[in-house]
Amino acid sequence: MSEFNAALGLVQLRHVDEHIARRGAIADRYRELLAGVPGVRTLARPCGATPNNSYFAILVDAGHALGRDGLYKHLREQGIVARRYFHPLISDFPMYRNLPSADPARLPAARAAADQVLCLPIYPALQNADVERIAGLVRESAVAVAPPMLLAA
């Protein structure tokens, strides 16, 4: 690390406790707002540990109307930068995909994570109104909107 990078790091350390606390508050609010959303699970706070909340991952399964990739696209269209974590799996890269160890049947947990994890924005300056908006978009998109029925003439 250069001296300049070290100096920047030391300045940031002055605010680390405040930033971790703010991220924790955002994570708690996301958990509240996303509780009970069909097809979305949030990860519980780890017992006996103090997380730094560097990411806020949700698991989006088949119970969500759009699915993980559809929700990812929907959020992007609304200007929300979410991230598909563990995507793609390293075992999917061309140089690895033909190896026996890359067989999807041997990696069920990794495959499930790669197919379901979506990280929502979380950073200390994220405003409460933005957290509410992001969670609202996730909530609203969880229920498929039925197309209008055509009436027989």
pLDDT in tens, 76-133: 999 999 999 988 899 999 999 999 999 999 999 999 999 999 999 999 999 999 999 9
Predicted TM-score (pTM) of the model is: 0.84
Q: Is 18 helix (H, G, I), strand (E, B) or coil?
A: helix
51: nearest Cα among 24, 70, 79:
24
pLDDT value at 144 more than 70: no
59: nearest Cα among 71, 47, 51:
71
In which band, very low, low, confident or very high, does the pLDDT at 68 lie, cut at 50, 70 and 90?
Answer: very high
Name the DSSP letter for residue 83.
B
CB-CB contact of 124 with 53 (8 Å): no
Q: What angle do CA 54, 57, 61 make, to 5 degrees?
A: 175
59: nearest Cα among 79, 77, 84:
84
pLDDT in tens, 15-67: 999 999 999 999 999 999 999 999 999 998 888 888 999 999 999 999 999 99
pLDDT value at 146 more than 50: no
